[in-house]
Amino acid sequence: MHGDGPRPPTAIEPTARVRIAAVGDVHLGEDSGGSLRPALEELPDCADVLLLAGDLTRHGTLAEARVVAREFAELAVPVIAVLGNHDHHGDVPEEITALLTDHGITVLEGSAVTVPVAGIRLGVAGTKGFGGGFAGKCASVFGERQMREFAGHTVDLAAALHTALAGLDTEVTVALTHYSPIGDTLHGEPLEIYPFLGSYLLGEAIDACRPQLAVHGHAHHGCERGTTPGGTRVRNVAQPVIRAAFAVYELHPAVLTG
């Protein structure tokens, strides 16, 4: 990620920290306006940024997206989101992205953003991601056109996540997806549906770049905590899992060597 030799010393305080609030799968409907707002108004007391891990709507309609936009607009902390599969169901993900963006929400898809937080540069790279399953038990880009398209979609989005992560040069880096990069955080879900819940290719992209944290949603019956094979902490923040308006994780700048 930093191929040009050691970084120069920085002036970051040893006690510096970034408090990441995150939630996914809020699945707001047209009648959900205001349901999260009271809790969200408390965000500045406990977090520096809010990450939304997709499935913000129920059916991916613009009417639902307008509720989402109003719910998360004008918070006192930056809001960074990816869309989920439900947000694609209405076939208007670009319009939803534009609507959220108009309300000050950053929507990532194979892209990244850098946010200054308390003297630290926080980088967030995100993609919806997709399914396909996990090593040894996964779909491959082979056979019928439909199967190649299914497996290829994951390959493309994982590659985009890798590129977005690799392009960040930040003291604290987070990967944000809707689908899971690992199987650990799916425990509680039926094994038979793991290939529809995530892909190891997302985990490989994360392990190639080693962010401090990876956040995802989508697995409503999974568990909160896991780790990639390379050692990055993974948190499933699907609201049915965390059972709160949001979870908060504290991160410290990477130890700079050389």
In this chain, which of 36, 65, 66, 84 binds Fe ion, going by CB under 5 A? 84
Options 18, 22, 55, 109; binder of Fe ion; rule CB under 5 A: 55
* Residues 213-252 within binding reach of Fe ion (CB under 5 A): 218
Smaller CB distance to Fe ion: residue 123 or 179? 179
Determine if 32 is a binding residue for Fe ion (CB under 5 A).
no
State which of residues 25, 48, 64, 109 lies at the interface with Fe ion (CB under 5 A).
Answer: 25
Per CB under 5 A, 85 contacts Fe ion: yes
111 touching Fe ion, by CB under 5 A: no
Closer Cβ to Fe ion, 54 or 203, answer by number: 54
Q: From the CA atom positions of the chain, what is the Rg in Å? A: 18
160 sits in which H/E element: helix 145-166
Q: How far is the CB of 103 from Fe ion (least distance, A)?
A: 21
Phi-psi region at 34: left, alpha or beta (left = phi > 0; alpha = psi -120 to 50):
left
Q: How far is the CB of 220 from Fe ion (least distance, A)?
A: 6
* Residue closer to Fe ion (CB basis): 132 or 253: 132
Q: Give the list of residues 6+ apart from residue 51 with CB closer than 8 angstroms, or none.
A: 20, 21, 22, 23, 80, 81, 124, 174, 176, 215, 237
Q: Which residues contact 7 (CB under 8 A, 6 or more apart)?
A: 256, 258
Residue 207 and residue 189 in contact, taking contact as beta carbons nearer than 8 Å: no
